[in-house]
Structure 1
Amino acid sequence: MAEHLPAQPLPNWRRAVLKVGSNLLAADGGGLTPRHARALAAFIGDSHAQGRQVVLVSSGAVAAGRALLRERALPGDDLAARQALAALGQAPMIALWQSLSPRPVAQVLLTHDDLRHRRRYLNARATLRELLLLDVLPVVNENDTVAVDELKLGDNDNLAAIVAALVDADLLLIASDIDALYDADPRRVPSAVPVPHVSTLTAEVMAMAGGSGSAVGTGGMHTKLEAAVKAGAAGVPTVLFDGRNTETVAALAAGQLHGTLFDAPRSRMQARKYWLRHAPAAPGSILVDDGAARALAGGRASLLPGGIVGADGEFHRGDMVEIVDVTRRPVARGLSQYGAAEVRRLAGRHSSAIDAVLGYSYGAEIVHRDDLVVLAEVHS
């Protein structure tokens, strides 16, 4: 463990996203190796034993795919070739993590379109939430096979930051082959000094980053700083550490970081509530009775169909909608799991009747409490 990186406490966390780069998984002779992944998997296991949840964002599929074709003429390095290699390598990459995990591993392939479109965003969010409830280890990767330009632009550092916001993580952990952010590239400047704590990601800090340092990866320090910016905007602090150092990885389970901590400018809850309060709303609203209005005003309740009186206007699944009482006074706003026509059919019903009424169900809540912000206090 590097002497110039003394231990500092990790931020408190219950749910984290761990990003593991391909340079930690690629074997010297090609393919994948558990050499560094074993300690990282042990950290995940220790975290689960402590009652915490981890979502893994893992690179390595392209490197694994290339190894499967080592006895054949390898394809070129254009986008289509790398997409083919990623498709080949997904199975061995998932198999590696399953071999190291006592819990079931679930593969989740995403593109940025899945996270930009609100309905697909809700689908991805619901799937990951359910996997965590089932005590499964989700292994997320970009769906490189169908991506157009995301393979280079949508590197897994940035994808991990987006996933951290998607699952309401408390912390983003980036395992790399470098132990910290340095004030210059330590491979070229021997006198470079590590930076253990970054309170604000200024232009000067961003200028410390260089390009990719790995032949098998798609990102470098710059993408890690971009990820820290994205995560910070969602209220999620980021830590960068050396995933090759078993002592550094083991210390994480004890709440100690030997690396760089990037603060978030505001708390996760503050960032999410701010977004929910100010994101554009659809031209429609959900009407609720007095009991539901009071429950929502408490700030800890989801909106269930039983408290709904009706719906005005038109909106779709995933839209931001206003929730109003019978006098049309705004009570809350949030992301609706159901469209306006569906809400009208479900109004006043019990959650258990959703499947029978619609023939399908997106969940028991019309608006989940994690996707809702209170606008007004409601008195009895």
Structure 2
Amino acid sequence: MNIKHWQKIVIKVGSALIAPEKAGCSSQYLRSIADFIKQCRGLGIQVVLVSSGSIAAGSHLFNRGTASNDEANIVVKKAMAAAGQAEMMATWDELFDFPSAQLLLTHADLRNRVRYESIRETITTLLAHDILPIINENDAVTTDKLKVGDNDNLSAMVATAAHADALIICSDIDGLYEENPHLNSDAKLVSDVYKIDQDIYAMAGGATSAVGTGGMKTKIQAAEKAVSHGIDTYIVNGFQAQSFQHLLANRNPGTHFYSHKTPMLDGVHWMRHTTRAQGELIVSDQYDIKDNDSSDLLQADDLLSVNGDFASGDIVMLRKDNGDKLAKVKTNYSSCLLNFVADSDNQDISEQFDKTQSPILSTQYIALMES
């Protein structure tokens, strides 16, 4: 690694660093991160900060006894996020001597291509004016259907949108271990990861922090998203100031996930790693999307069945009848119409549909799945 080659980085900071005692924000662990950001900016490196912690920061302002059921708990957590977000931004502002800006996102913003491009433009413009973007999920308004769920994966999506060179994920341990270091003191740190496979995922346990929502698994998921876009990813111990000193000295303080030499194309990466399938189109086991040219990518006769409820323009999964995933695709038709076509036993209807209608799939938005 050579930090001097970095032009733009994304740093992800979790709730345990923001509000370690759930008693409001604390700058105890944030000062070393803020100093690192300042030094990076001094080296001419643009920095984007993805910061969790709004719920943890605001929780001390609420009497949890008022939440008597799960639904009420969700409502109270949204209120905690609204109150805590202001405190969190104020805490960061106190640590910087330059301006910052707040961006609150939901997954709906990221999976819509127009809004995704708008996010990229906003980040780029802020950085061009030496303003630090501070990004968090909009926990005050988001729903289960619209949320990313953890800021590890959000940071990877942001790093991709920003075309970052490196993603630094701050954890409460030094990096990825072969075993859980909290249970085995002899567990070995994995310093370098060149390929993320099932063996790497097998090393990941659950969340180790009582405050945050992400564990090591979500950090590996984030790394997988980032490295496929050509972004080197580091998991480091955010509680240790020396982690950032090592980075500034071109030393790896934790686990380095190496970026792919041939990054995935931007549009394909967005389809694969940012969008969510709203339903499924089921085709025969003999069908292979790679064998079809763009003019007849999916014919009515190829369609066996439709799963889910989706609208025209939604992203869906193209899947074989045996369960194999073929691709994420954008459909030009709703599930209602495609159900009618798939369920029809009349060959004339299928032929007429193919002749008179637009293609079932939008050929501009296709991401083949890895076998």
Short-chain TM bin: 0.5 to 0.7
CA contact (8 A) 1:65 1:85 kept: yes
**Pair 9,187 (structure 1): closer, same or farther in 2 beyond 3 Å:** farther
**Pair 188,94 (structure 1): closer, same or farther in 2 beyond 3 Å:** same
CA contact (8 A) 1:174 1:238 kept: yes
Residue in structure 2 matched with residue 93 of structure 1 by the alignment? 88
Instruction: Determine which of 77, 102, 105 is the counterpart of 1:110.
Output: 105
The amino acid of 1:62's aligned partner reads: I
3-state SS of 2:152 partner: helix
CA contact (8 A) 1:235 1:272 kept: no
What's the RMSD between the two structures over aligned residues?
Answer: 2.4
**Pair 129,185 (structure 1): closer, same or farther in 2 beyond 3 Å:** same
3-state SS of 2:5 partner: coil
3-state SS of 2:133 partner: strand
Are residues 1:62 and 2:52 paired? no
Instruction: Determine which of 195, 198, 208 is the counterpart of 1:200.
Output: 195
Q: Deviations over 1:177-202 (max 9, x none)?
A: 10111001111122211100000011
TM-score by length of 2: 0.68
Are residues 1:12 and 2:38 paired? no
- The separation in 1 between residues aligned to 2:66 and 2:124, in whole angstroms, is 39
- The separation in 2 between residues aligned to 1:150 and 1:273, in whole angstroms, is 24
Q: Deviations over 1:305-356 (max 9, x none)?
A: xxxxxxxxxxxxxxxxxxxxxxxxxxxxxxxxxxxxxxxxxxxxxxxxxxxx
- The separation in 2 between residues aligned to 1:49 and 1:10, in whole angstroms, is 12
3-state SS of 1:57 partner: strand
- The separation in 2 between residues aligned to 1:91 and 1:272, in whole angstroms, is 37
Instruction: Determine which of 27, 32, 39 is the counterpart of 1:39.
Output: 32
CA contact (8 A) 2:106 2:142 kept: yes
- The separation in 1 between residues aligned to 2:25 and 2:217, in whole angstroms, is 25
The amino acid of 2:40's aligned partner reads: S
**Pair 204,145 (structure 1): closer, same or farther in 2 beyond 3 Å:** same
Are residues 1:82 and 2:73 paired? no
Are residues 1:49 and 2:42 paired? yes
3-state SS of 2:49 partner: strand
3-state SS of 1:182 partner: coil
- The separation in 1 between residues aligned to 2:2 and 2:154, in whole angstroms, is 25
CA contact (8 A) 1:176 1:241 kept: yes
Residue in structure 2 matched with residue 22 of structure 1 by the alignment? 15
Residues 361-372 of structure 1 aligned to structure 2 (within 5 Å)? none
Identity, % of aligned positions: 43
Residue in structure 2 matched with residue 264 of structure 1 by the alignment? 259
Are residues 1:235 and 2:191 paired? no
C-alpha deviation, 1:28, in angstroms: 2.6
- The separation in 2 between residues aligned to 1:161 and 1:175, in whole angstroms, is 13
Q: Deviations over 1:136-181 (max 9, x none)?
A: 0110000112211168752000000000000000100001110111
Q: Deviations over 1:24-66 (max 9, x none)?
A: 1214361111011000000000011111101000011011110
C-alpha deviation, 1:247, in angstroms: 1.5
C-alpha deviation, 1:234, in angstroms: 1.5
Residue in structure 2 matched with residue 191 of structure 1 by the alignment? 186
Stretches of structure 1 that go unaligned for 5 or more consecutive residues are: 1-7, 280-380
CA contact (8 A) 1:39 1:250 kept: no
The amino acid of 1:16's aligned partner reads: I
3-state SS of 1:56 partner: strand
**Pair 74,97 (structure 1): closer, same or farther in 2 beyond 3 Å:** farther
- The separation in 2 between residues aligned to 1:83 and 1:157, in whole angstroms, is 20
Residue in structure 1 matched with residue 121 of structure 2 by the alignment? 126
CA contact (8 A) 1:79 1:151 kept: no
Identify which range, 19-28 or 129-138, moves more after superposition.
Answer: 19-28
Q: Deviations over 1:224-279 (max 9, x none)?
A: 00100111122211101111111122222233221100012235xx4346849x99
Are residues 1:216 and 2:221 paired? no
Paired residue total: 269
The amino acid of 2:259's aligned partner reads: A
- The separation in 1 between residues aligned to 2:170 and 2:38, in whole angstroms, is 16
**Pair 12,207 (structure 1): closer, same or farther in 2 beyond 3 Å:** farther
